[in-house]
Amino acid sequence: MKMKKLIAALLTGLVATSLMAGCGDDKKPAAPKATAVKLNLPFEKVKMKQGKEIELAKLNNVNKLSSFDTFDNPGAMAKIGDKLFIRNANTNCISEAKLEGVDLKITKADFVKNVFKKSYLSTDGTKLFYGDNKMQTCAVDANGQTSVIYPRFVYGVVAVPGKTAAMPFSSSSDIKMMDMSEGKIGKEINLVIPKNRDGLLTTPNGLACDGTNAYLFGSTLDGKMSVGAVGVYGLDGKQKYIIGRKHDKERKPGYLASAGDIAVTSDFIYVFDKNIRQINVFNKKDGQIIDLISADQLFNGQRGINLLTYAGNNVLALVKSAKKDEADKLFMLNMQK
């Protein structure tokens, strides 16, 4: 009987060892797949130029909020949880707002007062980053407590999701990931985008980061022509790919005359080309064009567009009306993978 028990124990051990060997360290468990975020909004499908469909939902600008009246105006919105923060030209403040169904309602019109007109808004998930009238970058928490995180003038400071770090950016300068463990810009961690960058985007419009890559966008020179570009870099400083950059007389899909604003979602990069008034959607994985559509067609006329990654592949668009006496229009866009 003892011999039988010993044999059974040995067999059990061998089975367990075999199972463990089959799940060795060389086979890492698959990362959980990102779940699609479906908002409960009255989306309608709109056909794009190459046959793909994009979903569009019209929202109500209940309080007639208006962004600053300039065609080149990126970084006008940021989001923390279900709260939206928007540069409001009506009050010269950053207003706090919330989307309730199809209604965007201001919850605090003067959440931050006396902001720099082109203050570039960003967030680390808990605090809002913005530029004040002294050209400093500040952070404000949910209670309205403000602190200076970077006293020098830069275009903006963009947080790195998943890290206690951020990246200040400005014209003709290195873009470095900086430590923020003490609540302000501290020591350099590493270089992400070099100052030279092969002549690409020496004067950028804006910067975005999804925790894996940094996305620098704006206009750049290709020979004597100014064209649009989005430069994508890993946080280790390696260039992944470039969208646009090349002059194309035929303006084939993927060409950018400019890059006025972008939104980086789970799977896509939305780019507003302000010069030829077009919304382009690119594959985030490799930068290949998915499809494009006239912004005037999509939004029934416009004088400028701000984009904000809302959730999943959904993008909030704040659109200056084609008529100057009308309030800004609001839409939610969603591209299916």
Structure confidence by residue, pLDDT tens digits, 134-156:
989 999 998 889 999 999 999 99
Determine which of 52-56, 143-147, 210-214, 322-326 has the lowest per-residue pLDDT on average: 322-326
Is the confidence at residue 288, as pLDDT, over 50? yes
pLDDT exceeds cutoff 60 at 32? no
In terms of pLDDT, which residue wins out, 36 or 232?
232
Q: Is the pLDDT of residue 266 over 70?
A: yes
11 vs 52: CA distance, rounded Å:
58
The pLDDT of residue 299 is 93
pLDDT digits (tens, 9 = 90+) for 205-215: 999 999 999 99
* Segment 1-23 mean pLDDT: 41
The per-residue pLDDT for 66 is 80
Q: How many residues does the chain have?
A: 337
List, in order, residues 6 or more apart from 54 with CB less than 8 Å away. Answer: 45, 46, 48, 281, 291, 293, 298, 333, 334, 335
Q: Determine the average pLDDT of the residues in 82-99.
A: 90
Q: Once rounded to an integer, what is the mean pLDDT over residues 172-179?
A: 95
Whether the per-residue pLDDT at 10 is higher than 50: the answer is: no
Question: Mean pLDDT: which of 15-19, 60-64, 261-265 is highest?
Answer: 261-265
Q: Which of 318, 265, 311, 322 is nearest to 290 (CA)?
A: 265
Residue 143: predicted pLDDT: 86
pLDDT class for 25, splitting at 50, 70, 90?
A: very low
pLDDT at residue 68 in the model: 63
Residue 11: helix, strand or coil by DSSP? Answer: helix
Mean pLDDT of 9-36: 41
Q: If you average pLDDT over every residue of the chain, what do you get? A: 87
Per-residue pLDDT at 99 exceeds 70: yes
The pTM (predicted TM-score) of the whole model is 0.87
Say if residue 116's pLDDT is above 70: yes
Region 126-130 average pLDDT: 96
Backbone angles phi, psi at 14, to 5 degrees: -65, -40
More confident residue, 28 or 8: 8
What is the per-residue pLDDT for 193? 96
Q: How far apart are CA 304 and CA 90, in angstroms?
A: 17
Mean pLDDT of 314-327: 86
pLDDT of residue 239: 95
* Whole-number pLDDT of residue 325: 76
Q: Which of 322, 128, 308 is nearest to 206 (CA)?
A: 308
- Taking alpha carbons only, the member of 192, 186, 141 closest to residue 169 is 192
Contact 70, 304 (CB under 8 A): yes
The pLDDT of residue 30 is 39
Phi, psi of 142 (to 5 degrees): -65, -25
